[in-house]
Amino acid sequence: MKPRILLLPLLILVACSNRNNPQAVAEDFVYHYYKRANQESAIQLSSGLATEELEKEIERLKEIRGPNETVQKEMPNITYKQIGKETANEVEDTTYVLFNYQLTIKSRDGATTRTKKVVITTENINRRWKVVNFDEY
């Protein structure tokens, strides 16, 4: 048997890795919501207050954007990096994992750059990690 054939199952396993962990959910949320401006995709990763906020935003955008329509041609160039992580145990043994991200936002022409900090709060709900809150400052 060739060594490449032995590596195939390992590569498939890595490619299909489980994204049901707080870090992956937070990263996916930041990617879909901030980088791609896709609230419909972000809402799939959310619960509670985060879902309510996204639903309100989707409703506000209905007049200018159809379902699953993105605004890529008008989007600034957004990059992000995780700058912190904190685990907090709350009432009734609920564990929240908070992630701090820094967004760097450049205008399409590159003339303007600004930064924004974002806090993403995740919680394990029925064995699925979800974003339950997000805030910018």
Q: Is the dihedral of CA 70, 73, 75, 78 positive or negative?
A: positive
pLDDT of 84 higher than 60: yes
pLDDT of 110 higher than 80: yes
The predicted model scores a pTM of 0.81
**128-136 and 113-125 strand pairing:** antiparallel
Residue 24, phi then psi, degrees to nearest 5: -65, -40
Q: What is the mean pLDDT of the chain?
A: 86
pLDDT of 8 higher than 70: no
The whole-number pLDDT of residue 62 equals 85
